[in-house]
Structure 1
């Protein structure tokens, strides 16, 4: 019996330790992943501002093209912000919760171990009394042993149920957390692809020759004549896809 309970206790300890180790590592890595994503969003916001500044100093074709690009890039960062928030809520937070879950299971395991140790202690006491052979004291010791064994058996059954429930919940949580991670990433990249497809088509329509003509006129002519030869871009200023058509579901 004691050998079985020792093996049972070690198995339970190993289950909890593995969960603590790997869920903790996943939490650390995915929290860092989320922070890196947020930093990427910040860098992209700076790029949007730089594009606007640069566009204001260029010819009509490039100016409109870059402004469209900046608007589209800014929209992608809105989706990236949603990605960051969803990663925090659906992935990182549930993993953080395992810190307290593991602590609770360790308390339960400690209680089970204490009941087991008490049973062993009562058995050892009974064995010593049997050697001395006072029947009345031995009877009391046997009663104490029965009580300790009963507590240990009950504690063992409860701990088996607790660890089984813990394992079941862990499996469900791992499946759900990583499914949510993939879904969040898929949503972001699908929306980003839609916006960037629009941006790419917009860049392809830019007429470089028109801006070169405008540039030549600038360096060859000055004064009032320059105003008469200023080029006007024929590049349509396509609006970015509206957020309503690209809304991410919560």
Structure 2
């Protein structure tokens, strides 16, 4: 009886430790991801504000400075658009690479045993 309780106690302690680690690390990861997202969004917001401020300032100046300020504002807006497109492209490439790996796995399953439709179908459902 004692060994049953001690074995059970060990399992309970192990599960408690796992939950404790998950709470600690996942909470910190969520916090940091949120912080990262907010800072990235703030950077974009600040750049948008700067562009608007440059346009406003350009409307109060002479033609030469006005052209220069508008060009600077447009260039800064293009840089921000480029950064956004670059991030979107990176995410797209990551997704594409993951899908290509899954398709390669599916092809290996087909090559190993083409008649095993059950494995192919179950893998396809996992892939979706």
The TM-score range, normalised by the shorter chain, is 0.5 to 0.7
1:36 to 35, 39, 42: 39
Superimposed CA distance per residue, residues 149-179 of structure 1 (whole angstroms, 9 cap, x where no aligned partner):
xxxxxxxxxxxxxxxxxxxxxxxxxxxxxxx
2-structure distance, mates of 1:248, 1:48: 24
Deviation at 1:66, TM superposition (A): 2.0
Residue in structure 2 matching 1:52, options 52, 55, 75: 55
Out of 58, 71, 74, the residue aligned to residue 71 of structure 1 is 74
Who is 2:89 aligned against?
248
**Displaced runs of 4 or more, over 6 A:** none
Which residue pairs with 1:7 in the alignment?
Answer: 10
Query: For 1:71 and 1:11, how far apart are their aligned partners in 2?
Result: 58
User: Where do 1:112-123 residues align within 5 Å?
Assistant: none
How much has 1:29 moved relative to structure 2? 2.6
* Alignment pair present for 1:27 and 2:14: no
SS in 2 for 1:36: helix
Cα distance, 1:27 vs structure 2: 0.4
Looking at structure 1, the residues matched to 16 and 60 of structure 2 have their Cα atoms a distance apart, in angstroms, of 67
Aligned residue-pair number: 88
1:248 counterpart SS class: helix
Q: CA separation of 1:51/1:24 partners in 2, compared to 1, >3 Å: closer, same or farther?
A: same
Q: 5+ unaligned residues in a row in structure 2: which ranges?
A: 93-128
Q: Tell me the TM-score normalized by structure 1.
A: 0.30
Confirm or deny that 1:17 pairs with 2:27: no
Larger Rg: 1
Between the two structures, name the one with larger relative contact order (CA 8 Å, sep ≥ 6).
1
